[in-house]
């Protein structure tokens, strides 16, 4: 299944959540892929660290291929590279995505990522897609191709206002292009339980019936070290409270089916 992590607002934790959930899937032995659709490439540098290099293939090459007149059939796995972590691969982003966007739009390549995801889902158990902070060609492509959408939320009043528009946008894409798209839920990030405002804002979202996921992810300075060392939390500090919250969130998203009761 492909899960897109999306919020038009910047800095809410999209890349952090994408990479950490993906690392947890991989650490549980699932074949996992991260697709980085953000020209900033934060997920790519988070996962690759020192093993990142200029010439590596990635999403830009994939979209370039889609723009070429080649009659070669698409092989989406050609654009994937391994990360230093077992079971975790990456389709990396580069800044060229910025330049490609207008061409991709004018040549109507919005369904190409969906085609790639259909192929990739044969090779991977979990696909996580990180998106830029905008509703643009790349985020639309991801929402059109994915089966689930996760919305990180940073407990801010502006974010709350933007949330309704965001949910409308997702609903429109679902109605027009992708009936399989399911809002898996809102991920409350950087939650400070002792502060009144975040508690109130999140409480109101829940009261309105919005799909707020549990548990809420606590704020922790360890995440900066995790980024700096290019080590997702599950590898940096498996017992940290943020890691444990991420593991619980992962379990809430992908519940293990209950085994059929054995007959006596």
Ligand X SMILES: Nc1ncnc2c1ncn2[C@@H]1O[C@H](COP(=O)(O)OP(=O)(O)OP(=O)(O)O)[C@@H](O)[C@H]1O
Q: Is 14 in the site for Mg ion (CB under 5 A)?
A: yes
Tokens linked to 41: 């490439």
Q: Which is nearer to Mg ion, 65 or 83 (CB)?
A: 83
11 contact, one of Mg ion, ligand X, none, CB 5-8 Å limit per kind: ligand X
Q: Using the minimum distance from each CB to ligand X, give the nearer residue, 45 or 57.
A: 45
DSSP 201-239: HHHHHHHTT--B-SSPPBP-THHHHHHHTT--HHHH-TT
Closest CA to 216 of 183, 167, 249: 249
Q: How far is the CB of 262 from Mg ion (least distance, A)?
A: 46
Q: How many CB atoms lie within 10 A of CB 133?
A: 16
Residues in CB range of 142: below 8 A, 6 or more apart: 4, 6, 35, 37, 113, 129, 131
- Report the residue number, 66 or 151, with the smaller CB distance to ligand X: 151
Nearer to ligand X, 150 or 173 (CB): 150
> Judging by DSSP bridges, how do beta strands 81-82 and 182-188 pair with one another?
unpaired
Q: Least distance from C-beta 20 to Mg ion, angstroms?
A: 12
Asked if 146 and 117 count as a contact pair (C-beta separation under 8 A), the reply is yes
Residue 48's binding partner among Mg ion, ligand X, none (Cβ under 5 to 8 angstroms by kind) is none
Residue 8 CB, shortest distance to ligand X, in Å, is: 9
Question: C-beta of 188: minimal distance to ligand X in Å?
Answer: 10
| Residues shown for the chain | 264
Q: Rounded to whole angstroms, what are the CA distances from 42 to 11, 95, 221, 228?
A: 11, 11, 17, 11
Q: Which of 27, 32, 42, 190 binds Mg ion (CB under 5 A)?
A: 42
Q: How far is the CB of 130 from ligand X (least distance, A)?
A: 7
> Which window, 14-22, 109-117, 205-213, 217-225, contacts Mg ion (CB under 5 A)?
14-22
Considering the complex, state which of residue 221 and residue 260 has its C-beta at the smaller distance from ligand X: 221
Q: Which does 21 bind (CB under 5 to 8 A by kind): ligand X, Mg ion, none?
A: none
Give every CB contact of residue 188 below 8 A, 6+ residues apart in sequence. Answer: 153, 155, 198, 202, 212, 213, 216, 217
Q: Minimum Å distance from CB 47 to ligand X?
A: 13
Q: Write out the residues near ligand X by the rule CB under 6 A.
A: 10-16, 38, 40, 42, 133, 189-190, 217, 219-220, 223-224, 227, 242
Q: Please count the CA atoms within 13 angstroms of the CA of 236 that sit on its side-chain side.
A: 21
Give the residue closest to Mg ion by C-beta. Answer: 15
């Amino acid at each position: 299944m492909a899960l897109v992590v999306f919020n038009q607002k910047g800095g809410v934790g999209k890349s952090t959540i994408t990479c950490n959930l993906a690392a947890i899937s991989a650490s549980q032995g699932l074949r996992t892929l991260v697709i980085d659709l953000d020209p900033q490439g934060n997920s790519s540098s988070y996962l690759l660290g020192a093993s990142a290099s200029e010439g590596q293939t990635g999403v830009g090459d994939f979209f370039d291929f889609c723009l070429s007149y080649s009659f070669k059939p698409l092989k989406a796995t050609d654009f994937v590279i391994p990360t230093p972590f077992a079971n975790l691969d990456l389709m990396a982003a580069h800044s060229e995505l910025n330049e490609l966007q207008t061409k991709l739009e004018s040549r109507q390549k919005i369904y190409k990522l969906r085609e790639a995801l259909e192929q990739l889902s044969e090779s991977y158990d979990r696909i996580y897609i990180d998106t830029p902070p905008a509703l643009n060609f790349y985020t639309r492509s991801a929402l059109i191709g994915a089966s689930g959408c996760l919305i990180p939320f940073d407990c801010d009043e502006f974010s709350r206002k933007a949330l309704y528009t965001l949910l409308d946008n997702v609903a429109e894409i679902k109605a027009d292009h992708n009936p399989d798209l399911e809002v898996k839920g809102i991920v409350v990030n950087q939650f400070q339980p002792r502060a009144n405002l975040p508690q109130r804002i999140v409480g109101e979202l829940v009261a309105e019936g919005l799909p707020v996921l549990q548990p809420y992810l606590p704020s922790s300075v360890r995440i900066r070290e995790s980024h700096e060392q290019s080590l997702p939390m599950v590898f940096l500090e498996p017992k940290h409270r943020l890691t444990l919250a991420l593991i619980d969130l992962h379990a809430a998203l992908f519940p293990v089916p209950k085994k059929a009761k054995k007959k006596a």
